[in-house]
Structure 1
Amino acid sequence: MAFTTSSAPTVGFDLDMTLIDSRPGIHACYTALAERTGVHIDADLAVTRLGPPLEEELAHWFPAERIAEIADLYRAMYPAIAVAATPALPGAREAVAAVRASGGRAIVVTAKYEPNAKLHLAHLGIEPDAVIGDLWAEQKAQALREHGAHVYVGDHLGDIRGARAADAYSLAVATGPYAAGELRAAGADAVLADLTEFPRWLAAYRAEPAAPAAPDARDA
């Protein structure tokens, strides 16, 4: 795979566990959903499996014929329960701002329901140029290609697959369920400990004739 450095790159970011720590809000929403439906949901376990679409998690707790109904209910409950409870991860605002300050475009490509993704970003004052939701793993390549993304930043193995499918540079952050070594083994081109390291990485990316190696996060 060949990477071409751009003086004004388009950078895609994942949302959950890349820009935001969505565990508190999602935990609260699953707890409320269990109370509402009378169905046991282990919210502690569910928040260790963030990344894939909501329907995949609901399938652990509800029969197949109820998944669509329960997903709609969860998404309707989500804004009032999860948004205010969810903080930005360290460096998230600064990372998006760094891309835009460089003259590039920052987009968010996420598996999360798009209206709720936009609510999170607005609440936290994170201002990307575009938000595209409801895409997971290789599906993310659709939006990355459409927007001409040079780089995709994410915490999940599915994010690496999405970047690869889009022929984009895969920059991983070890802020989600995978340690740095696992992200590297899965094919990430570089790994950061978190987004506080991103502005320095971006400056190097813009300066070099080919995308540079980033300082690898410590294995955890």
Structure 2
Amino acid sequence: MTSHTLTVGFDLDMTLIDSRPGIKAAYQALSARTGTYVDADLAVTRLGPPLEEELRNWFPEERIAATGDLYREIYTTHAIEPTLAMPGAREAIAAVHAHGGRAIVVTAKHEPNAKLHLSHLGIEADAVIGWLWAEAKAEALREHDATVYVGDHTGDVRGARTAGALSVAVATGPCDAAELRAAGADVVLGGLAEFPAWLDAHMARQTAQER
């Protein structure tokens, strides 16, 4: 292990959690409340960017702020219960802890809702930082001295690279392996189930380099 404490950052939606069922339910409720059609099935195929980017596909600009607030209010009732942990999510966090490290979550999602998801699913992160997307994620990654960032979107790759962290991408979200590699991911895994073995090998290489 390195002389510094290992800190690994993880994205949330489609990296640690499969939030598609919950987000679909929230959009359907939002549509019913506002009387504005939202194609919830389409919306959940492009998770990753901030909520407001998706809302702009359905609502005029002057309604975005208020609609975003309403969505986040609706979210706690409709989206937490149906959301599932991604395969290997708990094991990935445990793998970081097994190496004496810290596992943090850095997400574009509203931070209180991110914490609700993790608590509901029993995923024990050491810190949760919300409201950060793409390159802005580097702020939290640098603050916490993260050397690895794991995410499913090309925006996550950009965040890792901006922070000078190793970009580990998982092809479980809207971006396929080829897109993630093209964006500059250092490592592309099929999913988090592959992460513990990768981390073991990565830490072994780090140890060997320090000898």
Q: Normalising TM by the smaller chain, what interval?
A: over 0.9
Partner of 2:202: 205
- In the alignment, structure 2 segments of 5+ residues that lack a partner are none
Find the partner of 2:58 among 58, 61, 64: 61
Code of the residue aligned with 1:94 in structure 2: it is E
Find the partner of 1:104 among 85, 89, 101: 101
1:3-42 aligned at under 5 Å gives the runs 8-42=5-39
Instruction: Tell me if structure 2 keeps the 8 A contact 1:95–1:199.
Output: yes
1:80 offset after TM fit, Å? 1.0
Mapped to 2, the partners of 1:22 and 1:193 lie a distance apart of: 18
Find the partner of 1:113 among 97, 110, 113: 110
Code of the residue aligned with 1:22 in structure 2: it is S
> Cα RMSD (Å) of the superposition?
1.7
Mapped to 1, the partners of 2:58 and 2:207 lie a distance apart of: 47
Structure-2 change in CA distance of 1:198 and 1:6 (3 Å)? farther
Mapped to 1, the partners of 2:134 and 2:13 lie a distance apart of: 13
After superposing the two structures, state which structure 1 stretch, 4-13 or 75-84, moved more: 4-13
Partner of 1:180: 177
Mapped to 2, the partners of 1:176 and 1:120 lie a distance apart of: 17
Code of the residue aligned with 1:205 in structure 2: it is H
Code of the residue aligned with 1:171 in structure 2: it is V
State the identity as a percent: 72
The structure with the largest helix share of the pair is: 2
- 1:44 correspondence with 2:41: yes
1:209 offset after TM fit, Å? 3.3
Mapped to 2, the partners of 1:88 and 1:150 lie a distance apart of: 24
- 1:192 correspondence with 2:189: yes
1:181 offset after TM fit, Å? 1.6
- 1:75 correspondence with 2:72: yes
Structure-2 change in CA distance of 1:8 and 1:59 (3 Å)? same
After superposing the two structures, state which structure 1 stretch, 110-119 or 201-210, moved more: 201-210
Q: Give the TM-score normalised by the residue count of structure 1.
A: 0.92
Partner of 1:214: none
Code of the residue aligned with 2:125 in structure 1: it is P
CA deviation map 1:166-185 (0-9, x unaligned): 00000000000111121111
- Give SS of 1:96's match: helix
Structure-2 change in CA distance of 1:209 and 1:103 (3 Å)? closer
1:131-210 aligned at under 5 Å gives the runs 131-209=128-206
CA deviation map 1:131-168 (0-9, x unaligned): 00000000000000000000000000000000000000
Q: Give the TM-score normalised by the residue count of structure 2.
A: 0.96
- In the alignment, structure 1 segments of 5+ residues that lack a partner are 212-220
